[in-house]
Amino acid sequence: MLALGIPRSTIYEWRARGLLHDLHVGVYAWGHSAVSWHGRCVAALLLGGEGAAISHAAAAVLHGLMAPRPTLDVISSHRRKGDGTLRVHRGSLAAYEITEREGIRVTTVERTLFDLADPRLVTEAIARRLTTLPSLTDFMDRKRGVPGARRFARALGLPQYRSKFERDFHRWLRCRGFPEPGVNKKVGRRTFDFIWFDQGLIVETDGPHHRTPQQVADDARATAHAARHGFRVLRVPEERFERRQAQVERELWTALQAD
């Protein structure tokens, strides 16, 4: 209003007369305070500033996954202070994380589910065809290493990988038609990369750090630990894996089919 040339004294007068009603700091409703839920979303975006988007539970409402709640959420890259009816989440959003619903900027279904990390909402969104598990998995891949990524992976029911090679190797197993293993599960007190419990087989995907004397010794202890629990261990080094895929495939099928 100041930028439009309206004097500050006039603004004060309008507020005193009940023409302007405070919604948030610097954001007003004209004429009355009975603002609709969608109107409150617009007010939240005004407070959030350029680039802001409705997010979290409020975004789930706009996507039809939840009923409206008293408090709204907005993600903003600016320093903004929320209040009793608005939570401001500080952060920036990539273009692929923003869409528009009913004329309101809002986080995409995938980003909304990432922020909430609720398995029930994930199931509901997929059932309503608002997204797909492959789309959510692709979004998860973009967010690896970001705070909240592990929580989101758990909500999707995805394995908790400890390295990129683990993830790539798991995809390789699926492409080759191998039985689905347990990923990063425990045998005794140790956690192993891939475990076929029924076949008593463990595969450990070894990165370059496994060449150090300390790691070589620990790998030997892990193999002995697995053997005490009735498991064989097959180690697959990351180095030269691309050239050894056919050999690894033969060895793994042989190990899985062994009595």
- Looking at residue 210, what is its pLDDT? 66
> Residue range 84-102: average pLDDT?
94
What percentage of residues in the chain have a pLDDT greater than 90?
A: 67
Q: CATH number of the domain at 249, please.
A: 3.40.960.10
Residue 195 and residue 123 share a domain: no
Residue 63 and residue 23 share a domain: no
Residue 200 and residue 100 share a domain: no
Residue 41 and residue 151 share a domain: yes
- E strand or H helix at 104, and its extent? strand 104-107
Residue 149 and residue 48 share a domain: yes
pLDDT (tens digit per residue) in 210-227: 678 888 899 999 999 999
> Residue range 131-158: average pLDDT?
89
- Looking at residue 79, what is its pLDDT? 86
> Residue range 120-141: average pLDDT?
93
Residue 25 and residue 119 share a domain: no
CA proximity to 27, closest of 78, 82, 100, 103: 82
Local confidence band at 81 (pLDDT 50, 70, 90 cut-offs): confident
Task: Tell me which of 130, 156, 182 is where a domain ends.
Answer: 156
CA proximity to 122, closest of 139, 140, 109, 141: 109
Residue 40 and residue 26 share a domain: no
Residue 95 and residue 55 share a domain: yes
Local confidence band at 20 (pLDDT 50, 70, 90 cut-offs): confident
Asked whether the predicted pLDDT for residue 50 surpasses 70, the reply is yes
Residue 101 and residue 125 share a domain: yes
Print the domain residue range for 8.
Answer: 1-32
**Cα separation, 72 vs 167, whole angstroms:** 36
Residue 45 and residue 25 share a domain: no
- For 130, list phi and psi in degrees, rounded to 5: -80, -20
The number of domains in the chain is 3
Residue 180 and residue 86 share a domain: no
Average pLDDT over the chain reads: 91
Task: Tell me which of 132, 156, 180 is where a domain ends.
Answer: 156
> Residue range 152-169: average pLDDT?
86
Residue 250 and residue 189 share a domain: yes
- E strand or H helix at 206, and its extent? strand 201-206
Alpha helices in the chain (DSSP H): 8-17, 37-48, 56-62, 109-116, 119-127, 133-142, 149-156, 164-175, 213-228, 241-257
